[in-house]
């Protein structure tokens, strides 16, 4: 099948449709996933094809949705449970962290929980502090949970398809700012194997490591840096757990400089964990300490201008990367 041009939203929908056609045990459950088609339109049309028994509109109770999905998965089904916003994850962390993530271990491998939790996070819609967070670090901290955050249209399809083949629970966080993004989708060619990052751009002076929507900002920053003669790698983590860090070590050891970028609040972030890992594994090759760049440690503002200013932008990534290479501070920092 030839590659097609489509949107991130439609790639997720196609992944769900293909999985449901291939496997009769796959079903969807969540608030407004059926008749309404999902809060962001991802599941539109699926109830017409598969019926209300496989595209289930649930009551407004996140614990009920996740609890039902875990029970179904333990009986041999493959549920895809949708949380309308990742901000609601606090309501389901007992089911997710204490039940889904632990069951295979606690039952000696006899019972697993092969479910997928789809949700979305991030800023960009002025949805304020309770609907704009990046809470992937919560999931990243729990042994037994798998976690993926696709940045491209192709990964939006393939990482979800891969998630539905795993024997353990997988959390898929889609950035709300990416749903309308367009790109190429080849259903026969994933960007990289499950658990491996992808080198999106090759450079010589530093390595920028990031994931989700920040990949697009990092690539734009790399273009700005190139105009100034600074050559940057851009690595898309794709899978936060599992994560094969061989590519990270190889590229950082080569360039001698690394920065890890996240939209999430910096304290306790995935970026902090990756930076510590690189500092440990690449110490002998580093020209500078590994630098972290992330969101402000504040509730996300509702004001569009303040919201934009609370997270890294391409311009800020470029300024910080330029300083890391040249030690020349940008004008605004003087």
Return the higher-pLDDT residue of 174 and 331: 174
pLDDT tier at 182, thresholds 50, 70, 90? very high
Q: Which two tokens mark 128? A: 């304020």
Phi and psi, residue 8, nearest 5°:
-55, -45
Domain 4-185 part of CATH 3.40.50.970: yes
pLDDT tier at 37, thresholds 50, 70, 90? very high
Mean pLDDT of the chain: 96
CA angle, 38 then 12 then 221, to 5°: 110
pLDDT digits (tens, 9 = 90+) for 120-160: 999 998 999 999 999 999 999 999 999 999 999 999 999 99
Residue in 131, 140, 158, 175 annotated catalytic: 131
- Asked if 4-185 and 198-327 have one fold, the answer is yes
Q: Which two tokens mark 199? A: 């080198």
Q: Would you state the pLDDT for residue 210?
A: 98
Percent with pLDDT over 70 in the chain: 99
Whether 131 is a known active-site residue: answer yes
Q: Would you state the pLDDT for residue 1?
A: 65
Question: Does the pLDDT of residue 70 top 80, yes or no?
Answer: yes
pLDDT digits (tens, 9 = 90+) for 278-295: 999 999 999 999 999 999
Domain boundaries, the chain: 4-185, 198-327
> Considering just the CA atoms, what is the radius of gyration of the chain in Å?
20
Q: 86 by DSSP, 3-state: which?
A: helix
Q: Would you state the pLDDT for residue 111?
A: 93
Which CATH architecture does the domain made up of 198-327 adopt? 3-Layer(aba) Sandwich (3.40)
Distances (CA, A) of 91 to 16, 62, 83, 85, 289: 25, 7, 10, 11, 38
Question: Does the pLDDT of residue 191 top 80, yes or no?
Answer: yes
Q: Which two tokens mark 321? A: 């990367």
pLDDT digits (tens, 9 = 90+) for 210-232: 999 999 999 999 999 999 999 99
Alpha carbon of residue 8 to chain centroid = 13
């Amino acid at each position: 099948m030839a590659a097609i041009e489509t949107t991130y939203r439609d790639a997720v929908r196609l992944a769900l449709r293909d999985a449901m056609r291939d496997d009769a045990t796959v079903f969807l459950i969540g608030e407004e996933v059926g008749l309404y088609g999902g809060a962001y339109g991802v599941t539109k049309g699926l109830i017409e094809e598969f019926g209300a028994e496989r595209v289930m509109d649930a009551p407004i109770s996140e614990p009920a949705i996740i609890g039902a999905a875990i029970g179904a998965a333990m009986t041999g089904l493959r549920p895809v449970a949708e949380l309308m916003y990742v901000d609601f994850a606090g309501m389901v962390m007992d089911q997710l962290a204490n039940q889904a993530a632990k069951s295979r271990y606690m039952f000696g491998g006899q019972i697993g929980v092969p479910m997928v939790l789809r949700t979305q996070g991030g800023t960009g819609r002025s949805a304020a502090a309770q609907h704009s967070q990046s809470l992937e670090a919560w999931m990243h901290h729990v042994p037994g949970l798998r976690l993926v955050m696709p940045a491209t249209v192709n990964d939006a399809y393939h990482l979800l398809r891969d998630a539905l083949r795993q024997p353990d629970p997988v959390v898929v966080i889609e950035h709300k700012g990416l749903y309308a993004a367009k790109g190429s989708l080849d259903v026969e060619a994933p960007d990289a194997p499950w658990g491996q990052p992808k080198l999106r751009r090759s450079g010589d002076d530093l390595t920028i490591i990031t994931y989700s929507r920040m990949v697009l900002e990092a690539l734009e920053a790399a273009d700005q840096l190139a105009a100034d003669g600074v050559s940057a790698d851009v690595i898309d983590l794709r899978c936060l757990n599992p994560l094969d860090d061989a590519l990270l070590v190889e590229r950082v050891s080569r360039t001698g400089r690394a920065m890890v970028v996240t939209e999430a609040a910096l304290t306790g972030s995935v970026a902090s964990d990756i930076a510590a890992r690189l500092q440990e594994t690449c110490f002998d090759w580093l020209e500078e300490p590994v630098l972290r760049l992330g969101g402000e440690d504040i509730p996300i503002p509702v004001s569009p201008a303040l919201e934009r200013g609370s997270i890294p932008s391409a311009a800020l990534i470029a300024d910080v990367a330029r300083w890391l290479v040249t030690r020349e501070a940008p004008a605004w920092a003087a």
